[in-house]
Amino acid sequence: MRARRNLTAAVAAAAVAGAALLPTAGPAAAHQVSRASVESDAGDGIVALQSEVLALVALDVWPAPVPQRLQDVHDEYASYVDGLDRRALVAGVLSADADGARVLERLRAGGGRPSPSEVAALGPLRSEDRTALREGRPLSLLPEDYVRALDELEDLASGAGPAPAGTQEPGAPGPTRTAVPVTATAPATSSATSSATSPGTSSGTSPVTSPTAAPATPASGDRPGTGLPVGVLGPAAALALVAASVVALRRRRRPAGTVLSARHVVGLLDAGRLLGDARDVDAVAQVAVAELTKLLRVEATVLLAADGRGGGRQVLADPRGCLDGAPEPVAGLLARVAATGQASLEVLDDDPCLGDRAVLAVPVLAGGEVVAVLAAVRPAGQPFGLDELRVATELAPLVASALHGAAALETVRTQATRDALTGLPNRRSLDLDLRAEVELHAGRTTAVVMVDVDHFKKFNDREGHAAGDAALQAVARVLAAAVRDQDGAYRYGGEEFCLLVRQVTEAEVRALLDRVLDAVRAVDVPGAAAQPAGHLSVSAGVALVETEDAAVAVLRADEALYRAKELGRDRYALAPPLAGPAAARPPTDPAADPAEPDPSDRHGRV
């Protein structure tokens, strides 16, 4: 703790002491301001050139061997361009080239004196080089120009380069100014403070000498470009300033797109939290496009499934309708990214799906396979850059993880609520749906219909379990096709099924079951002709429900089913109101054995 307080005091005292050594105005101060501006611009130039070199080496535009200096840049940051196709790399070169041209303008405007190599490397690519770049031909610009420009810019960024033109070096003749006392507030015990005060003066006050008295060149040990002598700062403060300078310079030297801004880091953290909260694929898709829209500040984003759901690529989220009217399956750039797994930055020209727009598209990978494509679009005059590609690339794994989790959750949910053999919702789903129907829609009539395959045990024993499974699947298809979208068909267990028919009248239920009985009779499965009726058949019991308990409704429908069985099977029976006994109309021929119904009346009405 004492060491930390001493370091804090030393840095504070050094800052004050350093300020006391500087004039309040004049050529030296102007020189330092101009120098700082040039150093900053040089750092930006390094970023632009390294970004451009990274993509150029990846594009293999220069004959081997590439200068080691440039190869080192590529090798250090190669992971940031892995997976990019040629068009995306070309777009990255052009984006970095534009950044370099802007830096060159600032260097000149700020009094800098760019060398021929800096002008060649930072200046805009010539039109023939742009064409060669797009066509995959060698560039006229030599790699040695980039090497020299990087070395010179690094010298300039570190303060070792030439002074900006039009500024006066410290110590050069200039107007004389009166010394102004500056009060230092650092503790008198600080070594920095002691060295900053001259003999015979109080520890709290240091005189400022005239600029004309300043030495012509920095003293030995001075940090170039700061005007603060290291000897004045003291060891602790000097070490802190040097470390900060190294960190700042290293950050400036990283290529564009390799360092996320604070806003993007916070945005990605928020996106990860929201994606983690999404519980189904649709919710994940909506969150993904909304977060990418915020992160890149674009108007429209798209998430396209690439896993063949529904037999082809499917648009999971497209809130702005970018793909409205697009051909199916989706073609063009999005299809290419889905097929190759390579990200892309392009300005499209008459794309079959996206038209004439600037597009950024990244693959969403899970288990080494492309499961989706995340894309952002905006007007063609606003192309995307490598920094935006980095943001989308960082978001993609979060989306992949959320999609995987949501799909796994849907699988578990499906296994818990659907019958594996028939694909129908199971008894658990029926219990939940029926309870909700009775509780939420009391007063409207709902039909609960229990359905059972006639003589199924005999069929299964005679034909085998495979044939029995086929018969159950055929009956399930008939029931699912018979009900409306608002209704439900469920496998209750074994050879027993249930229908939940909402907001229905007795006449509508009778018409529905007539169709079901006829459709089951027509089912063609092996062994159906050997059944007692000469075909596959079912019996059904119906309970019309308004306000009663769900369990009571199922029990009443089940009792009506047994009544239909007693009357000869291949028919349905209607449960009476709770206050009256059940009644079922017997077969047309009263003499017929109820266990063997008259073939002319397979579904006697009750």
Would you please indicate which residues are annotated as catalytic (active-site) residues?
495
How open is the CA angle 564-565-571, to the nearest 5 degrees? 50
Q: 294-300, long-range: CB within 8 Å, 24+ apart, which pairs? A: 294/267, 295/264, 295/267, 295/268, 295/271, 295/391, 295/392, 295/395, 296/360, 296/376, 296/384, 296/388, 296/391, 296/392, 298/376, 298/377, 298/378, 299/377, 299/378, 300/376, 300/377, 300/378
**Could you tell me which of 576, 545, 571, 579 has the C-alpha nearest to residue 559?**
576
Q: 248-251, long-range: CB within 8 Å, 24+ apart, which pairs? A: 248/43, 249/43, 249/157, 249/158
Secondary structure class of 141 (helix, strand, coil): coil
Q: 182-183 and 205-206 as β-strands: parallel, antiparallel, unpaired? A: antiparallel
Task: Count the residues in the chain.
Answer: 606
In whole angstroms, what is the distance from residue 21 CA to residue 23 CA? Answer: 7
In whole angstroms, what is the distance from residue 182 CA to residue 209 CA? Answer: 11
Q: Is omega for the bond preceding 329 within 30 degrees of 0, making it cis?
A: yes
Q: Give kind and range of the element (H or E) at residue 71.
A: helix 68-77
465-482 vs 456-463: helix crossing angle, rounded to 10: 140
* 469, two tokens: 């499974």
How open is the CA angle 306-322-265, to the nearest 5 degrees? 70
In whole angstroms, what is the distance from residue 423 CA to residue 309 CA? Answer: 17
In the block, residue with structure tokens 């709770």: 578
In the block, residue with structure tokens 């939420």: 440
